[in-house]
Structure 1
């Protein structure tokens, strides 16, 4: 009977795999991008423009009779109608007078009717107390658009003769606002270029191309107002009709590259 031999362990050769990871070559550090050499200039410009348009505001009003507050339980429809009729008649007469003074109908705007109560102190009683009175005020605003400022004195006279209750003033403006603001902006840019050229010549450097430009102040109107009151309208001197000028300001910031 054959004798079984013990199994010898199979000795497998160890396979050593050497993996060499090749590192990428070191790159030299990139130099930080240099700040571009630049010359930055800020400039502001102001120009005075003679206005060629005006808006005149006035008001007409009428009142209902004043009655004791304790009796004013409701508005008297007859009193309101009478006051409104008087107001409409005066407004119609004023419009006719303005047209006769040379103002076109489309330049006259009669605003909406405004109705509001008013409280007034009454006569004192024997005890010294005053009873409050109540009345209703009906008011209509009138707005005039003038494209010919030579008409202003004549129209003010027409308003005065028509007996307006309030002249709220004159606002002067420009028919071509965009054109005026463009001129102010151009003036600011020209001033910035002049300053940059002067600085470059003084420092002995050359100006390259414009690399940045921005507004630091948008063109702003500073209109001239002429305020008037009903009490002072008759004594208003002719010289006060002069419109003066409107100030327009603009500002810019411009950067030029310095030529190498």
Structure 2
């Protein structure tokens, strides 16, 4: 006959042997999940702009040859360009542009090939000249000042007003807001589905981005009318679109 203490010990071990596999089997069973994908779009009004302009000078067009451009002509074109650049910078500073908001690019020198005027039936001769160019960028934090600055650039005699790039002073805040909107939309969809199907949402199991918030400044090309305007043209920045997408999974509690 088995003593009582030993019999209790054997019975406890047998129950543990039976219960442990059942618990492990239950733990291995995957939980039912509710998977949701959501996308959000945020329209933001720009609060910053960048003006792009260029100045250039050209040397006289001469008959094409393998020789380099006349150094004196090139020096004269470069000196004239620098004088115009200095006048442009002064005009912008007088218009209220801070030194840190004005960027003058590097000098760019490149050859240009143009046909000479034709004389009767003779073939047109190829001429070469050198173009000396310098780009400028002006950052504008107050969009109300944009027409005045465009007038200043035009009055300074820029050769090209290339474009206006509309931007945001705080890009991170805007992209964060778009991501939050996508997550809130995902949660709303999950709660709606759970309520409709009469189930309860458990903890979040997985979260991932399906579309990272992408931010692209909005470009507006300058038309001929805008370049020749005297402040009568309206410049509407429109909106910048930021899109974000997420995928979220919730465990379902019965």
Question: If the length of structure 1 is used for normalisation, what is the TM-score?
Answer: 0.84
Residues 232 and 68 of structure 1, relative CA distance in 2, 3 Å threshold: farther
Map of 1:228 onto structure 2: 222
Pairing partner for 1:168 from 162, 165, 181:
162
Q: Does 1:47 pair with 2:42?
A: yes
Q: Work out the CA distance in 1 between the residues paired with 2:131 and 2:147.
A: 29
Pairing partner for 1:115 from 96, 109, 114:
109
Q: Work out the CA distance in 1 between the residues paired with 2:204 and 2:190.
A: 11
Map of 1:211 onto structure 2: 205
Q: Which portions of structure 1, spanning 4 or more consecutive aligned residues, are displaced by more than 6 angstroms?
A: none
Q: Work out the CA distance in 1 between the residues paired with 2:47 and 2:72.
A: 46
Pairing partner for 2:89 from 84, 95, 99:
95
Answer yes or no: is the 8 Å Cα contact 2:209–2:247 preserved in 1: yes
Question: Which structure has the highest helix share of the two?
Answer: 2
Pairing partner for 2:31 from 15, 36, 43:
36
Q: Does 1:62 pair with 2:57?
A: yes
Deviation at 1:75, TM superposition (A): 1.7
Deviations 1:54-103 (A, max 9, x none): 11111000000111114x62221111111111101111111111111111
Which of the pair has more CA radius of gyration? 1
RMSD: 2.2
Question: If the length of structure 2 is used for normalisation, what is the TM-score?
Answer: 0.86
Q: Work out the CA distance in 2 between the residues paired with 1:173 and 1:238.
A: 23
Q: Work out the CA distance in 2 between the residues paired with 1:225 and 1:161.
A: 23
Q: Which moved more, 1:218-227 or 1:128-137?
A: 218-227
Q: Work out the CA distance in 2 between the residues paired with 1:227 and 1:193.
A: 41
